[in-house]
Chain A
Amino acid sequence: MGVEQYKDLFVSESEEHLQLINQALLGLEKDPHNNNILNEIFRSAHTLKGMSATMGFVSFTKLTHKMEDVLDIFRSQKIPVSSEIVDSLFYCLDTLQMLLEEIKTEKDLNLDIDSVVSKLESAIPVISPSDSAVVETVKELSLNEIEKANLAKIIKEEEILVYKIDISLAADCQLKSARAFMIFNSLDAVGEVVKTNPGVEDLEKNRFGLNFSILLLSKMAAEKIEKALKGIIEVSGVNVKIVNDVNELPDEDYAKPASKRPVSPAAVPGKKEEGPADLMQQFGLKKIQSIRVSTQRLDKLMNFVGELVIAKIRLMQIAQTFQIQPLHEVLTNIDRLTTDLQDEVMHARLIPMSHVFDRFPRMVRDLARDKHKQINLEVSGGEIELDRTVLDEIADPLVHLLRNSVDHGIELPQERKEKKKSVIGTIKLSAYRERTHVLIEVSDDGKGISTEMVRKKAVEKGFITEEEVLKLSEKEVLNIILLPGFSSAETVTDTSGRGVGMDVVKMKIESLGGTLSFESEVGKGSRFSLKLPLTVAIIRAMLVNVCNETYATPIANIAETVKVPIEKIHHIEKCEVINLRNEIFPLIRLQKALGNQYLSKSKTTATKEKDITIVVVESGGKKAGLVVDEVLGQQEVVVKSFGILLKAIKGFAGATILGDGHVALILDIGTLIGSN
């Protein structure tokens, strides 16, 4: 059978299970007595074993089988798991992940499975003997004297026949005991089993080879019995013989109570666990029930929808211009359909945050161990969904923020004790949905960021002079850490390293149209908040006219639009500023900011109008007033990113095609405010 075609499915489903085991192991570490979690891990290992065996992945099967064995010992004997066991299970999990990688890439990573297996074995306190050891019996089916006498009596008194049946199971039969049970079950319909060889108990416990014999009392003909038995799968040979004289059968040396038939194994422990039905839910996991669509295809689909939206807008403009009533009616319909379609496609691209969040508990655990810190990571909001492209991009910044918290935020247990804090530090990672945005927060109850230290460092590094630093507010001082090249850690550690600084995190978030803000209190901890748009492909924008050019300003960046008398503009050190309701912020004139001398003169400056129109924009907690000639209105725009050639141009986030077919540039408010 060609199993190759199932490989993708195998890989993706195995990944889910490995993730599940990972979560469950973390849970088990916190609650080593929880048999439900143990069962959950067992079940996943079991499923993995079944799948990999079917695929013929030997190492994978071997390892999952061993895992299952080990887990079974713990769950059936109700022994609380030790941290060594959890460690070796984690180790096992890592190896499985690598094996899966091997399967995925078809590259041999030369993994040493045996050492993982022996590590697992060495962690088990007592290895219980395996039940499946095969003991091939050479003994014949025999009866003791009492049995013989009883049988002879029955045969004489009732019209009943004694059959000796030899049964061979197929060589690939795996659950021999259960198969034997099936055979007994069907023999029940034709007669009564009086004796078996090997004994019933051995058959039940799988302690036999492929052959066994049965002594059956029946009124049926031999052929009928043979037919019934041959109808059972995995039975390769049946030989039914009538026993005319019970004394033909060999004598049994010792008396052994003959039980009539295998007893049902209802007494097997650990099979009927009561408990919460869904542990996956307990761990905040979401089972993926999906078909696989390549992300490229989704991107393409999104692109088509984008084009469709543009075409729709053009059509609407035509209908507007020519006032064609029937067209209007159809368009209302098309408008609704495209909006729905766009919504659906956008949602199809959304992936629950847990895809990224789920790797963090393990990461924080490992980091904390390295640093000899005790940290509890609380994750919430894993179910919040975010565009795939956005999600891909925020994983690294989040890793950075979490590492920072572990490394610089949470103190050593001793230090925490002295500060009368709980010895175990808490890092919270949470996500919320806020209309068209998603908020992600990373907060810790660690030592916080010392502004004193930041001041000192900033001066030392020449970011700022000693006089200037005194003029800065606390918040402004904190913002210094977001500057490129600034690292507040006194020593560089391998956890946070120096590779990526906070500036990279900030840039990444802003390039996604999001914002990064944070607050910190010495001794109490820090909180970093990321505000991210749900999607980056289609945004709502305000179209404005500046110097006869149309620009799109992302609505997400707009605080308000105001008309102010020209006298309200003040000058501070050659900078145009405006005082709006006691808030002072700079004005941005596009022709100046973009340095484009080719732009025709702004209407406002040309005609010396009394009022100027200002779009108040904000990014990264800073506000600015964008001076525009005219506000054209809101519209959904499909963001087309610039090619490599134009990527270096600052101030624009991309371009979009307007309803009339014209191209409008999308302003990148973040860089505009920054460069002003």
Chain B
Amino acid sequence: MGAKVLVVDDAVFMRKMIGDILKKEGYEVIGEAENGKEAVDKYTEFKPDLVTMDIVMPRVGDIDGIGAVKQIMEKDSRAKILMVSAMGQHALVVEAIQAGAKDFVTKPFQPSRVIEAAKRVLES
């Protein structure tokens, strides 16, 4: 079985697409979350090998994307988080990486990029 992935994005569309790309490559999507709070909860529940995290998400329970990265890293310093960002989010990406995210991909992305990034993050 491939690595277990938690896909976090507030758009169903994006979750589906990222999930499909990863599944095709043999990864197992063990869970999805649509906000930072859910991401933290599901991370604790599923202990995934990899998390893909949307960077711009509505604040729920005072946790946004970056907040989720911080909380997950606090719980598990070896957590492997791949940020998914759109164009023009330089500052947030940098903040996420400083918070412990391992890498990022930018929307619109090529599936090969996502796979490449996922592999690299898992190897790190």
Contact = CB atoms under 8 A, between A and B. Distances in A.
Partners in one complex: yes
Interface in B65-113: 85-95, 97-98, 103-111, 113
Interface in B12-63: 12-14, 16-17, 21, 34, 56, 58-62
Contacts of A3: 17
A175 B106 contact: yes
Given A264-B98, A271-B92, A178 B11 contact: no
A370 B66 CA distance: 45
Contacts of A232: 103, 120
6 A-B pairs closest in CB distance: A178-B93, A53-B108, A174-B106, A50-B107, A268-B91, A50-B86
A482 interface: no
Nearest to B12: A13
A279 B58 CA distance: 9
Interface stretch (A41-49, A89-97, A345-353, A560-568): A41-49
A265 B85 contact: no
Interface in A160-200: 172-175, 177-178, 181-182, 185
B3 interface: no
B117 interface: yes
A49 B16 CA distance: 17
Interface of B: 10-14, 16-17, 21, 34, 56, 58-62, 85-95, 97-98, 103-111, 113, 116-117, 120, 123
A1 interface: yes
B56 A181 contact: no
Interface string A219-236: 000000000000111100
Nearest to B102: A182
Contacts of B117: 233
Could you say which of B60, B62, B94, B120 has the most chain A C-beta atoms within 10 Å of its C-beta? B94
Contact of B14 (A50, A177, A277): A50
B89 A277 contact: no
A175 B108 contact: no
Contact of B97 (A6, A40, A56, A182): A182
Contacts of A262: 94
A185 B100 CA distance: 11
Nearest to A5: B20
Interface in A488-521: none
A1 to B, nearest CB: 5
A551 interface: no
Interface residues of A, number: 45
A54 B17 contact: yes
Contacts, number: 114
Contacts of A289: 34
A17 to B, nearest CB: 8
Nearest to A292: B12
A185 B87 contact: no
Contacts of B120: 231-233
Contact of B113 (A9, A177, A233, A266): A233
Given A50-B86, A178-B97, A231-B120, 19 more contacts: A1-B110, A9-B13, A13-B11, A46-B56, A50-B11, A50-B14, A51-B14, A65-B87, A174-B87, A175-B89, A175-B104, A177-B94, A181-B97, A232-B103, A233-B116, A265-B90, A268-B91, A271-B92, A278-B59
A47 B108 contact: no
Contacts of A1: 21, 110-111
Contact of A6 (B17, B62, B111, B113): B17
Nearest to A68: B88
B83 to A, nearest CB: 9
A53 to B, nearest CB: 4
B13 A13 contact: yes
Could you say which of B14, B62, B85, B116 has the most chain A C-beta atoms within 10 Å of its C-beta? B14
14 contacts: A6-B13, A9-B13, A47-B56, A50-B14, A50-B108, A175-B87, A175-B88, A175-B104, A177-B94, A178-B97, A231-B120, A233-B103, A271-B92, A277-B59
Given A51-B11, A181-B97, A233-B120, A206 B107 contact: no
B70 to A, nearest CB: 13
A279 B120 CA distance: 37
Contact of A9 (B12, B86, B109): B12
Nearest to B61: A277
Contacts of A132: 88
A667 to B, nearest CB: 46
B59 A182 contact: no
A375 B81 CA distance: 49
A322 B50 CA distance: 63
Contacts of B90: 175, 177-178, 181, 204, 206, 265
B94 A265 contact: yes
A607 B123 CA distance: 94
A278 B105 CA distance: 27
Contacts of A204: 90
A611 B88 CA distance: 83
B97 A43 contact: no
Nearest to B118: A233
B110 A172 contact: yes
A278 B58 contact: yes
Contact of A277 (B62, B85, B87, B104): B62
